Structure 1
Amino acid sequence: MKIPRRGSLRAALVTSVAVSALLLAGCSSSGDIDQSSDGSTTAASGPWSYEDATGTTVKVDHTPKRVVVLNDIAISFVEYGLHPVGTFGQLPMSKDARFRGLDTDGITQLGTSYGDIDLEELAALKPDLVVTSVYPKDEKGTLDTTQPGYGFKDMEQQKQIQAIAPVAQVEWGGKGEDVIKEITGLAESLGARESTVAKAEDRFDTARDRLQQAAKEHDLSVVSMYADGDGAYVTRPSDEPTLQMYSSFGVDFVDPKPKGFYWGIYSWENAGQITGDVILLSQQGYQVADLEKQPTFADNAALTAGQVHSWTFPALDYASQADYMTKLAGWLDDSKQLS
């Protein structure tokens, strides 16, 4: 059973997000980086290297310009003006709400589900670099290097991909703002313009201030959850970087009672224990109509009040977060206290 985590979520409950600030000191390139009109990088004159979350130093003899990226990070790259040649993940771009409005022309979808990566098509793209993420497996921030990077089916598939192009893994855990800085720095090392990033950061600051104000003015509790035929899964806010960040801005997220890392798991028999004024419901799994068919959840106060909104797992970059925080602030303004 695959239980979504973030926008493209992993099956195993033990695979999840945790702590650890991310370092980009290992990112470097020499020579000027030009950027074409479609956002791709061109004409790097020197070697590029990046120390990834696993401690591996990824080296390329020029700044990579043909990059294949996990969808969560691909969104951020596109927001920053870069243009990956390919992407992979849990959802195809056509079904992932986060890609709406973004320029995806020329980006090859390498698969339609988790671990589904067409290796022949990947090789045909002649990538200089493949970028994915890696999750700590517990609240201590422990990385299990015996497991594949996120989006890869298994270690054998990862080795096959590494034979095509070097793979860099970004740690996805801890403080949300640290992850944003890591991904932003990586994008800049690949050619994202400072002016583009600066504009996105200004939007982020404005949206953060609005969200803080909305959270302060409205005493509302918020639940982030995923649901399927087996039950409801409430996200532990301290274990999801984006929710951790929103919590630091004053949003009151419900901390699930069932113990565990990342998820508080409720069977449908116990789903009536889930309370909150606003629900952020994963774009994957059950949607509102499905929840209304569950006898133990159909009378949930937030559900009956229509205070349920899509949790798209916004990408961790300044632009994506600015957009979602603005929406969240509006939802808080329009909601009423129910519990």
Structure 2
Amino acid sequence: MKVLLTGAAGFIGYHVAEALLGRGARVVGVDDLNPYYDVRLKQARLERLAAHEGFRFYRADIADHAALRAAGDGWDLIVHLAAQAGVRYSIDNPFAYAAANMTGHLSVLELARHSPGLRHLVYASSSSVYGAGTPLPYAETARADRPQSLYAATKRADEMMSAAYAHLYGLRQTGLRFFTVYGPWGRPDMAYFGFAEAIMAGRPITLYDGGTLKRDFTYIDDIVAGVMGVIDHAPSNAGEHRVFNIGNHRAEFVRDLVHLLEAELGRKAMIVDAPRPAADPVETCADLSALNALTGYLPKTKLDQGVKKFIAWYRIWCAERG
């Protein structure tokens, strides 16, 4: 199987690439290595992927359609995980989101419709699309037309573009609404990673509303299992477009995450309390019944187990950086 995987140097992209390569797939990874966070981490992920004979890396901005087309052809599967991430970053850098998330997604769709042997396009959406006032747990049938951030609006726009391309060109597609993903080789801009760095450095961390916000923290191995399950259960019919939640179905207090980090690091956090930003929901929790019915998806990793594994990796990463 020949796979194009965008965002290969990213957190989820790296782990999905490892899983595909472990199955013997030939993977062409595309990434622009933008400096949104430490590029050394992205490069280190790519170095590990390069050890696989079936992996080839192609550096390109997916919003540049000519550059994306030059990555190759003959794709059996496209896994599109590249995006400009981060909710708050979109407030100050809106055009980065329009380019990467909307023009970039359109570029991938155009590539897909001109790939005659393509069996399936799997792409990343986000739990952020649910916006304000959505009943818990979030179900795929809930409204998704009240975004609280530009990031959320771009990801919902991606879903709508995919629906249009499925209808017009018969593309088989699956969108995955990722909830809060964490684990080894994670993103430094995510709260759990930033908290760990601050605690180790003796810097204060900010908890909104006393840490009472709740998130559906999902360990990376469970996310990869869900992605691979979707790949194994491609749509049967031309033009079929599906959207699934992929999370943990368990909302945890952010303050409990901090306590677990303190325990694993052996240090107390210096906490600053602040009001919740307007773009942040009070709680997120995924209804997983649809994905479970299709693939048997059932997350296995509890938060304390996942934090332990993350900190074990984090210590090694810090030591290697010196």
Asked whether the two chains share a fold, i.e. TM above 0.5, the reply is: no
Higher relative contact order (CA 8 A, sep 6+): 1
Tell me which structure has the larger Cα radius of gyration.
1
* TM-score normalised by the chain length of structure 1: 0.34
* TM-score normalised by the chain length of structure 2: 0.35
